[in-house]
Chain A
Amino acid sequence: MSWLPKSPKARRRLWVVMAVAPVLALAVGLSLWAARDSVTFFYSPSEATPDKAPAGRDIRLGGLVEAGSVHRTADGAVIFTVTDNAASTRVLYRGDLPDLFREGQGIVAQGAFEADRSFTARQVLAKHDETYMPREVADRLKEKGEWRPEAGASARSSRPQADSASEQS
C-alpha cells in the first residue's frame, strides 16, 4: 500500500479519519433524513390552520377540554372539544382516556385532522398531577391572555412553594 503515508503517526491519523468520517456522515445523514418526517409540530386550535396542519399530517393539538363537551358514542369512542378560547376543534378519540382527563383541563392530543377539519387523536396526554398543565398549553394560553391560574385545579402551579415535584428518571 504505497499510497499510505510513511510515518506511523500520520498513518494512524489517516486510519482514524477513515473510521470517523463514515460514522459521522452516517449519523448526520440519518438525523437529517429522520428530521424530515418524524418530527411532530404542536399547535393550539387557533393556530392549526389548514396550511399549517393539512388533513392527514401528524400533529400535536393542545388546549383546554371545553366544559360540557365530552360525550361517548355508542361504539365506545370519546368526542370532546379542545379550545384555546379563540378557536375550538372537535376531537374524536378511541381508547382509554388518561387518568387525569377532565373537563376544563389542559390536554395534548396527538393525531391528525380529517378532511372536514375534525381531529382524530391516536393518543391523548393529560397533565400528570394535580398541579401540572402541559407546558405548551400553558404557554399558548399565557400568550393569548387566557391564562387564569386562579381558576380551577391549576391554581397552584403559579405558587412555586406548592409546586408538587414529580420524580426525574
Chain B
Amino acid sequence: MIAELGAFALALALALAALQTGLSVAGRLRNSPVLAGAGQGAAIASALAVALAFGALILAFATSDFSVANVAANSHTDKPMLYKVAAAWGSHEGSLVLWCLVMTAFGAVLARASNLPFGLKTSAVATQGALSLLFLAFAVFTSSPFQRLDPAPFQGMSLNPLLQDPALAVHPPLLYAGYVGFSVCFSLAVAALIEGRETRLSWTAWGRWVRPWALASWAFLTVGITLGSFWAYYELGWGGWWFWDPVENASFLPWLAGAALLHSAVVTERRGALAGWTVFLALLAFSFSMLGAFLVRSGVLTSVHAFAVDPQRGLMLLAILGMTAGAAFALFAWRAPMLKSGGLFAPISREGALVLNNLFLTAAAGTVLLGTLYPLILEAATGQTISVGPPWFALTFNPLMIIALIILPAGPLLAWKRGDLTGALQRLAVAAGLALLFALAGWALFEPKKALAAGGLMVGAWLILGALAETAERVRLFRAPLAETLRRARGLPLGAWGMTLAHAGLGVFVLGAVVETSFKVEAVAPLSIGQEMRAGPWAVRLDGVAVVEGPNYIAEQGRLTVRPAQGSGRAKAVTAERRFFPAGGQTTTEVGLDFRGLDDVYVVMGERRAGEPGTVATGQAWTVRTYWNPWARLIFLGPMVMALGGVLSLLDRRLRLGVGAARRRKAVAA
C-alpha cells in the first residue's frame, strides 16, 4: 500500500511539474499574475508530492518491505536502522527520487521568493518546472523505486557494506543539495537570457539574486565532497583521500564551475559587468552536475562509485543532458551578444583579479574535464582502453591551481574599478615574510627535505596569512586603538568574514594536502600477537585478535597499541577490523585511526597468514598495514572552514532570498 502511495505521489508530482511549467509559460505570455501564481502554487505542490513519495520510500525501507523490488535489492533485516533509511538513497532509483526532491524543493523556494520581478521569476519558475518535469519523467517511466516483486522474497540482498557508514549515510543528501542547487542558478540564467532584452533587467540585481543560490549550492557541495573523501579515506583502507577517480571528478567539476560562478557573480552584482560570463557559468555549473549524473549512472565508467545500471538509462540521461544543456547554450549563443555589458574597469582592479580567478578556475576545470572524458572518447572512437590517473592531474590541474593560489591574496586588497597593485603588495609584505619563515621552518623540521613541499607550505601559509592580512587591514589592527578595531570588526559585513574564512580554509587544506602527500609513510608487515612494527615515528604493536559479531557481519578485530617509537609519548589503543558480511558475501576493512594532533596513525588489518579462518589460535600472523599521515586532519578541516565561510556569506544581510521578507513586512504592517 505504501509503495503504491509513493508511486502515485511521484506520478502526481510529475503532473504538477507539467502544470507548473505550463501555467508559468502561459502566465508569462499573457502577463497574468494569476496564472503565474497558480504555476508557483503547482511548484510548491509538486515539491510536497515528491516529499510524500520520498517519505513512502523511506518507510518501505524502514519496515523492510521486501515486496518492493528496490528494498529487496538494497536492504536486509539485519541492518541497523540508520542504514535501512540510508539505503533509500543508496540505489540508482532511490537517489533519483532524492535528486527530484531537492530539485522541486528548491523550485518551491524559488516560487516563494518575493524580491524577483514578475517576468524573471515566472520564466525561472517555468524553467525549473521543465527541469523537474524531465527528471521526474525519467524517475517515473524508467526508474521507479516502487515496483513490486511477486512473490516477495523472504530476505533482501542488503546494501553494499562499504556504504554502511554514517558519513556515507548523509553524504548523498548534502551532495545532491549542492548538485541540484545549481539548477536554480541554471533557471535564473535561462530566465535572464529570455528576459534580458525585453524588460530592462538590472544585471546588478540579477547578480544579487543568483549569488545566494550559487553560494548555498557550493557550500553544500563542499561539505558533500569532503564527507565523501573522508569516507574513502577511512572506509576503503587505501590510505588515500582523493584518487582522481572519474566519479570524484564528476563531483569536482560542478564545484569548480560553482566556485568560478560565485566569484563572477560578485562582479556582476557590484559592477554590472561580466553578465554574459556569469550567465554562462550558471549554465555550465548545472550542466556539469547533469554530466556527473550521466557518468555515474550510465555504466560507462569503471569506478568504486559507479552505479551499475543498464546503458538504456544512460542514454536517457544523455538525452536529458543534451536537451537541457543544448537548448540553454543555444539560447545563450543567440542572446548573449545582445546582453548589455556594463562597467568598464582597468586590468589591475578587484574585477580584474576576479576575472583572473575565473580564468584559472575554468582552465583547471577544463583539464579535469579532459582527463575524465578523454579515455571515454578514445575508447568509443578507437576501442583502445586507457586510464588517466593521478600523475596526469598532478601535471595539469596542480600547476594551474598553484598559480591561481599565489595570485589569490592580492585580489581582495585591490579596489574596485582601479586598484593599486603596489599598495596591495606592500600591505601583504608582512604576510609574505611570515609565509617564507613558515616554509623555512617546515624545510628544517620535516624529513626528508623536499623543496617542492616547502614551496607548498609557503603557498598554504601565504593563503591563510594573506586572508588574515586583508581582514587586519580592514579593521586597522594595531594601527588604531583596540576599541576602534573592535568596532570596525563588528561593523564588517558577514560576507567579508565569509570570504576571509573561505580563503583561509583553502590555505588550511593546502597545508594538509602538501604535508600528507609529501611526508606520509606506509609500512606493511606480518605481525604475530605481541609483535611490533614501525611507521615513521610510530610503533604499532598487535596486542590481540578476537572474532566479534556485529549486527550483520562477523569480524576479525585486531587490538593494537600505537606509541611513539622514541621518547615517552602516550600510548593509545586502537581497534582495526576485517568484516565479513554474509548477506552479500563481502569483506570490508574498518580502519583503526589514532588521532595524534593533526596527524593520523592509520592501521589496516590484512589477511591472516596461517590457520583456519574463524578461529584464533596462537602462532599465527596477520598482515598489518600502517600509514603515518601527517597533518591529515587539515585536509578535511580546511574544506569545512571554506564551507563555513560560504554559509557566513550566505547569512549576509545583502543576500537575503526574500522568502521571509514579505512575511516580515506584513508583520510590521499589522
Q: Give chain A's interface residues, CB within 8 Å of chain B.
A: 8-9, 12, 15-16, 19-20, 23-24, 26-27, 30-31, 33-35, 38-42, 60, 76, 95-97, 99-100, 128-132, 134-136, 139, 153, 157, 160-169
User: Complex formed: what's the CA distance from A24 to B367 in Å?
Assistant: 10
What would 30 A/B residue contacts be, using CB atoms closer than 8 Å?
Answer: A8-B344, A19-B347, A23-B360, A26-B363, A26-B400, A27-B363, A27-B396, A31-B371, A33-B395, A34-B395, A35-B374, A38-B391, A39-B387, A41-B387, A42-B386, A76-B526, A95-B524, A96-B607, A96-B625, A97-B607, A128-B162, A161-B69, A163-B73, A164-B160, A165-B92, A167-B172, A168-B296, A169-B225, A169-B229, A169-B250
Known: A30-B399, A95-B524, A97-B607. A19 touches B356 (CB 8 A): yes
User: Could you tell me if A164 and B524 are in contact, using CB atoms closer than 8 angstroms?
Assistant: no
Q: Which residue of A lies closest to B149 (CB)?
A: A161
Q: Which residue of B lies closest to A99 (CB)?
A: B587
User: Complex formed: what's the CA distance from A164 to B310 in Å?
Assistant: 12
Report if B304 contacts A (CB, 8 A): yes
Report if B516 contacts A (CB, 8 A): no
Known: A27-B396, A99-B586. A167 touches B386 (CB 8 A): no
User: Complex formed: what's the CA distance from A135 to B400 in Å?
Assistant: 32
Report if B95 contacts A (CB, 8 A): yes
Report if B384 contacts A (CB, 8 A): yes
Q: In the complex, which residues of chain A have a beta carbon less than 8 angstroms from the beta carbon of B251?
A: 168-169
User: Could you tell me if A130 and B585 are in contact, using CB atoms closer than 8 angstroms?
Assistant: yes
Q: 3 closest A-B pairs (Cβ-Cβ)? A: A34-B395, A38-B391, A42-B385
- B: number of interface residues (CB 8 Å): 80
User: Could you tell me if B305 and A167 are in contact, using CB atoms closer than 8 angstroms?
Assistant: yes
Q: Which of A8, A20, A34, A157 contacts B359, CB < 8 Å?
A: A20
How far does the Cβ of A110 sit from chain B's closest Cβ, in whole Å?
8
User: Could you tell me if A31 and B308 are in contact, using CB atoms closer than 8 angstroms?
Assistant: no
User: Could you tell me if A31 and B367 are in contact, using CB atoms closer than 8 angstroms?
Assistant: yes
- Given A39-B387, A169-B245; 13 other pairs, CB 8 A cutoff: A24-B363, A35-B374, A38-B389, A39-B386, A41-B386, A97-B607, A135-B301, A162-B73, A162-B157, A167-B90, A167-B172, A168-B296, A169-B225
Q: Which of A99, A128, A164 contacts B74, CB < 8 Å?
A: A164
User: Could you tell me if A167 and B163 are in contact, using CB atoms closer than 8 angstroms?
Assistant: yes
User: Could you tell me if A31 and B370 are in contact, using CB atoms closer than 8 angstroms?
Assistant: yes
User: Could you tell me if A99 and B589 are in contact, using CB atoms closer than 8 angstroms?
Assistant: yes
Interface 1/0s, chain B 210-235, versus A by CB < 8 A?
Answer: 00000000000000010011001000
How far does the Cβ of B144 sit from chain A's closest Cβ, in whole Å?
13
How far does the Cβ of A13 sit from chain B's closest Cβ, in whole Å?
11
Q: In the complex, which residues of chain A have a beta carbon less than 8 angstroms from the beta carbon of B245?
A: 169
Q: Which of B160, B299, B364 contacts A166, CB < 8 Å?
A: B160
Per the 8 Å Cβ criterion, residues 88-135 of B in contact with A are 90-92, 95
Q: Which residue of B lies closest to A43 (CB)?
A: B385
Q: Which residue of B lies closest to A135 (CB)?
A: B302
How far does the Cβ of B363 sit from chain A's closest Cβ, in whole Å?
4
Q: Which residue of A lies closest to B91 (CB)?
A: A165
How far does the Cβ of B238 sit from chain A's closest Cβ, in whole Å?
9
How far does the Cβ of B164 sit from chain A's closest Cβ, in whole Å?
10
Per the 8 Å Cβ criterion, residues 368-415 of B in contact with A are 370-371, 374, 384-389, 391-392, 394-396, 399-400
Q: In the complex, which residues of chain B have a beta carbon less than 8 angstroms from the beta carbon of A164?
A: 73-74, 157, 159-160, 308, 584
User: Complex formed: what's the CA distance from A52 to B154 in Å?
Assistant: 51
User: Could you tell me if A40 and B308 are in contact, using CB atoms closer than 8 angstroms?
Assistant: no
Interface centre among B95, B228, B396 (most CB of A within 10 A): B396
Q: In the complex, which residues of chain B have a beta carbon less than 8 angstroms from the beta carbon of A163?
A: 73, 308-309
Q: In the complex, which residues of chain A have a beta carbon less than 8 angstroms from the beta carbon of B73?
A: 161-164
User: Complex formed: what's the CA distance from A136 to B585 in Å?
Assistant: 23
User: Could you tell me if A40 and B356 are in contact, using CB atoms closer than 8 angstroms?
Assistant: no
Q: Which residue of B lies closest to A96 (CB)?
A: B606
Q: In the complex, which residues of chain B have a beta carbon less than 8 angstroms from the beta carbon of A60?
A: 387
Q: In the complex, which residues of chain A have a beta carbon less than 8 angstroms from the beta carbon of B304?
A: 128, 166
Interface 1/0s, chain B 71-86, versus A by CB < 8 A?
Answer: 0011000000000000
Q: In the complex, which residues of chain B have a beta carbon less than 8 angstroms from the beta carbon of A19?
A: 347, 355-356, 359
Known: A40-B389, A168-B306. A96 touches B604 (CB 8 A): yes
Interface 1/0s, chain B 168-179, versus A by CB < 8 A?
Answer: 100110010000
Interface centre among A8, A26, A99, A160 (most CB of B within 10 A): A99
Q: In the complex, which residues of chain B have a beta carbon less than 8 angstroms from the beta carbon of A130?
A: 584-586
Known: A30-B367, A34-B396. A39 touches B388 (CB 8 A): yes
User: Complex formed: what's the CA distance from A8 to B347 in Å?
Assistant: 12
Q: In the complex, which residues of chain A have a beta carbon less than 8 angstroms from the beta carbon of B607?
A: 96-97
How far does the Cβ of A132 sit from chain B's closest Cβ, in whole Å?
6
Q: In the complex, which residues of chain B have a beta carbon less than 8 angstroms from the beta carbon of A131?
A: 308
Q: Which residue of B lies closest to A14 (CB)?
A: B347
User: Could you tell me if A27 and B400 are in contact, using CB atoms closer than 8 angstroms?
Assistant: yes
Per the 8 Å Cβ criterion, residues 553-602 of B in contact with A are 578, 584-589
Q: In the complex, which residues of chain B have a beta carbon less than 8 angstroms from the beta carbon of A99?
A: 578, 586-589
Q: In the complex, which residues of chain A have a beta carbon less than 8 angstroms from the beta carbon of B305?
A: 166-169
Q: Which residue of A lies closest to B227 (CB)?
A: A169
How far does the Cβ of B372 sit from chain A's closest Cβ, in whole Å?
12
Q: Which residue of B lies closest to A33 (CB)?
A: B395
Known: A166-B305, A168-B247, A169-B247. A34 touches B391 (CB 8 A): yes
Q: In the complex, which residues of chain A have a beta carbon less than 8 angstroms from the beta carbon of B344?
A: 8-9, 12
Per the 8 Å Cβ criterion, residues 290-309 of B in contact with A are 292, 296-297, 299, 301-302, 304-309
Q: Which residue of A lies closest to B225 (CB)?
A: A169
Q: Which of A20, A38, A76, A129 contacts B584, CB < 8 Å?
A: A129
Q: Which residue of A lies closest to B606 (CB)?
A: A96
Q: Which residue of B lies closest to A162 (CB)?
A: B73
Interface centre among B175, B232, B292, B607 (most CB of A within 10 A): B607
Q: In the complex, which residues of chain B have a beta carbon less than 8 angstroms from the beta carbon of A134?
A: 302
User: Could you tell me if A160 and B355 are in contact, using CB atoms closer than 8 angstroms?
Assistant: no
Report if B544 contacts A (CB, 8 A): no
User: Complex formed: what's the CA distance from A129 to B175 in Å?
Assistant: 23
